[in-house]
Amino acid sequence: MIKRFTTTALALGFCVSVFAQDAPDAAIIQKLRKEGLENSKVMDIAFNLTDVNGPRLSNSPGLKRAQEWAVKQLTDWGLKNAHLESWGTFGKGWQIDKYYAATTLPYYHAIIASPKAWTPGTNGPIKSSVVLIKADSVSDLAKYKGKLAGKIVMMDAGAPLQSGLKPDFNRYADSTLTQMADAKPMAAGARGGQRPGANNMMAQMMKMREVRAAMSAMLVEEKVGLILTYARGGQGTFFTSNGASYALDAKPVSPELEVAAEDYLHILRLLRAGKPVELEADIKTSFYDQDPQGYNVIAEIPGTDKKLKEELVMIGGHFDSWHAGTGATDNAAGSAVMMEAVRILKSIDFKPKRTIRIALWSSEEQGLFGSRGYVAKHFGDPKTMVLTPDHKKISAYYNLDNGTGKIRGIYLQGNASAGPIFQSWLTPFADLGAKTVTISNTGGTDHQAFDAVGIPGFQFIQDPADYNTRTHHSNMDTYDRLVEDDLKQASTIVASFVYNTSQRDAQIPRKELPTVPAAAATGTATPARN
């Protein structure tokens, strides 16, 4: 009983000590709030990234335009060494130059759709009856051989739409945030249980992939004019993807349109009823292979402390997007917030102890390539855990990539020691709805590249808004979906975290370094230990 009391008292004393050490400077926080909430430029940044520069598909002209704009803007704000830095080879760029498609029989109707990324155009206007392909196996395809040249085809598949009974836009309830704050660390090596029927589902998926691969090859061989594909989504929204590889040596594919569910199902019902459907289309796409390198935007606010200026505080978000919209919530929002955060800090004439570095990543959508390439080059290889000397110089990396929703707190990625520090830093923003610190991990974006080599890498908790229901990878991901007050709030909070991390006497505590994967451990490389 006494021992338990003593431990509790010591823990309480530690928390009080941490809170005292990391209590934010009230005067600075007030300056940050005034600049971030009253003089914000975040929507102007977002406007330039989306409406002005357009979609930012990896290695596309739109991405390159936006990157060049960002380098100039960061330089104009007074950041140093703003430049494009190659992270490695990506492959071909691609963009839509022209798109038009409409049914002309049984009546004229322009359809909502988009060419799939990295697919070719139609080589001029085409017009054809639509052929419905029914194939559950590779052998079923034989009956179509020699019959599809120049035809517009679609598959006999497409689930009926379910009317939306829930609102698209929502914010986290207090009860949900409490559950997040109360979460317990996952045991080392623990994984979620396998879903019932998972093996059967995997077998079905493998069969579907086999049929699709065979069908794709046959359609190229048959020289079809255009493929219509059922796109996930509803109410005029469709979620897009790539229809071909971006590799320099990718095999040829057929032209392909991803069609909004309402229009696809309309055509499908007519064909299933034996009614003829005619469609016309004119699609032009361009490929860019002159420079297959991928690039990140990098810029700095140099540190001023003699002992700490060689250390880093990094912030970032991915700059690339998909092509059907203008990538507003995924992830012009996060990129604009990070750019606005450094603008705020420059506006208050902040002279940081540690160097602040912003990174706007490319090719996140294809596999976190930009951040992973950067981390491998500058900090270490997660496959071998061979680390560079700069690995020990970075205090933390902060990321934003979950849409337009305001910040409600931060994920610790299992780094319990950082919890009391971040709780203290969030205290001045409780009135803006940001107060939750959770031990939980979150995935799917660029902080993982840092976490993978043992660098404290964090993603902020954001309100869901309509990210998963309406905008993520969709044709609706446009400027109008951005919530101005939420982005102002997020920019101000990020600026404060950067300020506090830069000025803190010690770096952000680190978790234990990840272990070397078994295959790599048998090699000759010797893992570094900081």
Q: Cα separations (Å) of 21 from 351, 381, 494, 496?
A: 20, 34, 20, 16
Q: Mean of the per-residue pLDDT values for the chain?
A: 91
pLDDT digits (tens, 9 = 90+) for 169-205: 999 999 999 999 999 987 655 544 444 455 666 666 6
Strands 233-234 and 126-133 come out as unpaired
- 19: pLDDT strictly greater than 90: no
- Which pLDDT belongs to residue 243? 81
CA distance 374 to 390: 12
DSSP-derived secondary structure for 50-92: IIIT----TTSHHHHHHHHHHHHHHHHTT-EEEEEEEEEE---
3-state secondary structure of 436: strand
- Which pLDDT belongs to residue 527? 41
- Which pLDDT belongs to residue 12? 40
Q: Is the peptide bond before 106 cis (omega within 30 degrees of 0)?
A: yes
Q: Could you tell me the two tokens for 214?
A: 């065979």
CA distance 281 to 230: 17
CA distance 49 to 328: 8
- Which pLDDT belongs to residue 186? 75
Rg (C-alpha) for the chain, rounded Å, is 26
Among 443, 436, 424, 441, residue whose Cα is nearest residue 496: 424
Dihedrals φ, ψ of 116, to 5°?
-70, 145
| Residue 267 burial class via C-beta count within 10 angstroms: exposed 0-12, middle 13-18, buried 19 and up | buried
Domains recognised in the chain with CATH numbers: 23-90+292-521 (3.40.630.10), 93-161+196-286 (3.50.30.30)
pLDDT-based confidence at residue 528 (cuts at 50, 70, 90): very low
- Which pLDDT belongs to residue 519? 52
- 59: pLDDT strictly greater than 50: yes
- 112: pLDDT strictly greater than 90: yes
CA distance 354 to 371: 21
pLDDT-based confidence at residue 103 (cuts at 50, 70, 90): very high
pLDDT-based confidence at residue 27 (cuts at 50, 70, 90): very high
Among 31, 76, 47, 172, residue whose Cα is nearest residue 492: 31
**Which residue matches tokens 């054809």?**
128
pLDDT digits (tens, 9 = 90+) for 312-361: 999 999 999 999 999 999 999 999 999 999 999 999 999 999 999 999 99
Mean pLDDT (whole number) for 473-481: 97
Residue length, the chain?
530
pLDDT digits (tens, 9 = 90+) for 419-439: 999 999 999 999 999 999 999
- Which pLDDT belongs to residue 192? 44
- 399: pLDDT strictly greater than 70: yes
- 16: pLDDT strictly greater than 50: no
CA distance 62 to 337: 20
